[in-house]
Chains A and B, each alone.
Chain A
Amino acid sequence: MITAGVDLGTQSVKVVILKDGSVVGRGKAFSGFDPAKAAEQAMDEALMTANLSLSDLSHVTATGASMALAPKADSTVSMMGADAKAGIFLFPKARTIIDIGAEEARAVKCDDRGVMVEFVVNERCAAGAGAFIEAMARALEVKLEEMGPLSLKAERASPINASCVIFGESDVVTLIHRQESKPEIARAVFDAMADRISSMVHRLGVNPDVVLLGGVAKDVGFVASLKRKLGIDILIPEFPEFAGALGAALTAASKAERSQK
């Protein structure tokens, strides 16, 4: 059976094609001003890599902030539901699944059957999410991808406030004026973010295995900070930014199966 998951995120749209339990295609496009169009582009790319066409799909499930805009979706699943599905699929022993995207951070708790039993979301503020790293990279005049490696060179940590992107940025300016080095400021940014994420996760209880999904999982600097903060190892899949789409594709597969019965 072939199904697809479409994750219409705030910054990019991701598509995953699933065939009999394995991923056969991925596609990605910037959401921009027209998420529906971006979704079509990402779908075309995913279908092309999988060497399939739209008519081969038995069910399409959408997720993500703009899921309502998904063209041709047969059903939808919440972002938290998709996280839980993908986390358990990738790491069957996962009990705590963290997903950090461009503008939202979430943590989901699963029980022993892999069913979502609780979730938390960052409190309507981007300071615990990818947009924060982007804003701070701008303030430091470094590329987004350089932030992580740069932070690993820091010798010590300087604290900043990450209750809000705007205030965080003015804290960074203070550090610049104090002539702190860029690696230390970069580390301060990740530490502050990890602080927020960790208190969010602590509200659920830190139950291993802990899995990190979403685009921010690709940032080595943030991952190092979060591991330090939580004091345990964190599992990260190969394509963390496609996890939401994978979760949606898995949902699509179970829906298609159910309707066949």
Chain B
Amino acid sequence: MKSQQKKYMIEISQKEIEELRNSVKATSRKVMAENIARMKKTSKNRPKAMEYFDEVADLFGKREKEIQAAKESGKKVIGYMCLFAPIEMILAADAIPVRVNSGWYDTSKLGDRIVPVEVCPVIRSTIGAKMIGLSPYLELSDALISVLTCDGMTKLGEILSDYKPVWAMPIPRVKDSPQSLRFWRDGLLTVKGQIEALTGNKITRKKLKSAIEKTQRATKAFRRLQDLRKGNPVIMGRDAMLVNQTYMWDDITRWTEKTEALCDELEEKVRRKEWACSLDAPRVMVTGTPMIWPDNWKLPTLVEEGKPQGVLVADELCSSERLLYDPVGVDEWTMDDMLDAIGERYLMASTCPCFTSKDGNVDRINWILNKIKEWNVQGVIYYVVRGCMSYAMEYTRIKKVLDGINIPVYYLDTEYTREDVGQMKTRVEAFLEMLTARIDI
């Protein structure tokens, strides 16, 4: 039987697919184990509650099997690429939400067979992961929500539609206009219908309310964790980032419980003054392109294992602190109000550079300034992967703002590759050295 003609994907033999998948998977297991071992080594007094997250971070582990089993019992899995996908609606339809962007370096090279190397590696890597069926969560997805944010994400959905039903969700690119919210709300209604059709479950007022309450509880735990990072470092940035990231695929209720337990332990450590690293370590914030587990862990590793050592206390990444920081704020529990609240939470709170407004992406600037002030940030690393245009272009403005408040910022560009770690190390360590020298004076 001849397979259906694909729009983008090339034909690869089953044998090659299997060989590539096995070898990339083996590398990935090694990378995950190594990353966790290094995180354990770096963190003095690492919380015991991290063990849960170390385990759930295994992309080929228990969580994959759990979702597999849920699927077999009739549940649907809905994947998404950008954090604008309305998780509450997925939960309300009794489906499982998973984010499917890829952090695997090796698969970005495979993506080069479909799109040019100039394309952002997050996109190329996700394409490559699909080519060899590497990502358990992408494979388990029954449909994908493709939010049309940047150019890369827009085309990624199109390419993945060679395999799965893809629901494109257009976003308005100007936030501060009344039409925008209406346009976005219409899109939400469309996707609500698509979720209902796929799952066969109606998203009722009661179910949506309980889903919103579920993510509100998650947000509360999430905020509690970030707030604990305002004072002396009680948790290393990489550990907090891992907790944040696992939200993208873990069971949300369990994730919330485990995060609360982690926070309890951290509060105890604060009382006992058990810090995660030297109090002299410069406090760094990262802003820019999403940084995705497991391979794209090199920048946080370089900062926290640097000579001198730095500590990540905050970030402005859609793969970490932006995931869950803003709660869905509902006034009245009517369907209309809930939809409004979901619409606002995803659209208005976003600091993604795909938006502009009368005053440009001023929301992002305010987010960064607030983090610097409240989290006592001493230096900012502006992280961009090649091909990530909108983040690259906003640098000039952000730098002007940070120069104005005398906060050093360093622009670090990289690729989905392990080979440039040496060069990155030179730059990151020079930056940390500079921050240390400033603190000394």
Contact = CB atoms under 8 A, between A and B. Distances in A.
Nearest to A66: B422
Contacts of B369: none
A121 B420 CA distance: 14
Contact of A65 (B410, B413, B422): B422
A162 B427 CA distance: 23
B305 interface: no
A117 B399 CA distance: 13
Residue from B307, B410, B426, B438 having most chain A Cβ neighbours under 10 A? B426
B437 A76 contact: no
Interface in B175-217: none
Contact of A116 (B422, B427, B437): B437
Contacts of A76: 307
Contacts of B433: 77-78, 80-81
B70 interface: no
A113 B430 contact: no
B430 A79 contact: yes
Interface in A46-63: none
Main secondary structure of the interface of B (DSSP, over half): helix
A123 B431 CA distance: 16
Interface residues of B, number: 18
B441 interface: yes
Contact of A78 (B422, B423, B430, B438): B430
Interface in A65-79: 65, 76-79
A261 interface: no
B413 A123 contact: yes
Interface in B304-331: 307
A115 interface: yes
Interface string A76-111: 111111000000000000000000000000000000
A68 B97 CA distance: 45
B119 interface: no
B441 A115 contact: yes
Interface string A17-31: 000000000000000
A238 interface: no
B352 to A, nearest CB: 24
Contact of A119 (B420, B434, B441): B434
11 contacts: A65-B426, A76-B307, A80-B434, A115-B437, A118-B408, A118-B434, A119-B410, A119-B430, A119-B434, A121-B426, A124-B423
Interface of A: 65, 76-81, 113, 115-121, 123-124
For the complex of A and B, 7 pairs with smallest distance between CB atoms:
A78-B430, A80-B430, A78-B433, A81-B433, A116-B434, A78-B429, A115-B437
Interface of B: 307, 408, 410-411, 413, 420, 422-423, 426-427, 429-431, 433-434, 437-438, 441
